[in-house]
Structure 1
């Protein structure tokens, strides 16, 4: 999956559009971003830095995922990067 350059030869679709993620989001009445980018990180003890000027869009502390939900998200891992290799980025290339 390569979300930084959608026209790249091996670009995938956004994880936020994956049927597993959208089903989990619908089940909890949340957005796919709230499930993956925020709550999944919390359930794994990882840090995420969400940004929104609308507090309810960030809301991830009013629910918890069942054990099956993070496991379903974990199972989506293909081992491929979602963006460029940090070692290959040149200073100023995102100018």
Structure 2
């Protein structure tokens, strides 16, 4: 699943969500490398400055592969924390008067 978004510092980016490799292909490398290459090609073909995605910390094999492919862990490098508002909190915030 991919969508385009915008980075304040570097322009248009492609965001990839849920890079899934079927269990029988995990640990072999080529399937994930192939999907990452296709995503990078899509980013370049659409004028994106980079391809961005997230990975849970518990998925150490995937993170090792991404690092081997040249991906940069911006959580470590730039000290980013990812936040989101969900569920009832979205409704409560939306209901607040704006000033």
Tell me whether the two structures share a fold, i.e. TM-score over 0.5.
Answer: no
**What TM-score does the superposition give when structure 1 sets the normalisation length?**
0.26
Structure whose CA Rg is larger: 2
Structure 1 or 2: more strand by fraction: 2
Q: Which has the higher contact order (CA 8 A, sep 6+)?
A: 1
**What TM-score does the superposition give when structure 2 sets the normalisation length?**
0.25
